[in-house]
């Protein structure tokens, strides 16, 4: 609106748009877990000593996982992480108590 008075000019601007909160966006990044094995519980940095069915040297965690999944009676396994003194895969017929060992990865049903 514009109103005029003697020696005074006043201008008032009214914006009838609704004010809204600034919009925000969220980005979610999913990183694949390199230590997945079927629906097993993974214990990175843990050993499960005892209850071994068999063992052999395998080059990767994935191979150890696959071996356990296809080996009759295997319910858990332990594998040496890259750079560990051993990359031996130990298949288990039971789920023994776990102990801390940063050089090993364990998995069990």
Confirm whether 4 is domain-assigned: no
Number of domains in the chain: 1
Scan for tokens 């060992």, then name that residue.
Answer: 101
**pLDDT reported for residue 15:** 62
| pTM (predicted TM-score) | 0.68
Confirm whether 11 is domain-assigned: no
CATH number of the domain within which 66 lies: 3.50.4.10
User: What digits encode the pLDDT tens for the residues 3-58?
Assistant: 555 666 555 666 666 656 666 777 766 656 678 999 999 999 999 999 999 999 99
Query: Which residues lie closer than 8 Å to 72 by C-beta, 6 or more apart?
Result: none
**Spatial distance between the Cα atoms of 22 and 71, rounded to a whole number of angstroms:** 56
């Amino acid at each position: 609106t514009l109103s005029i008075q003697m020696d005074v000019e006043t201008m008032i601007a009214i914006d009838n748009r609704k004010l809204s909160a600034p919009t925000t966006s969220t980005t979610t990044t999913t990183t694949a877990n390199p230590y997945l094995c079927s629906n097993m519980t993974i214990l990175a940095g843990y050993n499960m000593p005892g209850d071994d069915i068999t063992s052999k040297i395998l080059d990767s965690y994935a191979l150890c996982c696959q071996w356990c999944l296809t080996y009759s009676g295997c319910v858990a396994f332990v594998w040496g992480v890259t750079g560990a003194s051993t990359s031996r895969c130990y298949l288990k017929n039971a789920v023994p108590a776990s102990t801390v060992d940063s050089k090993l990865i364990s998995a069990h049903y």
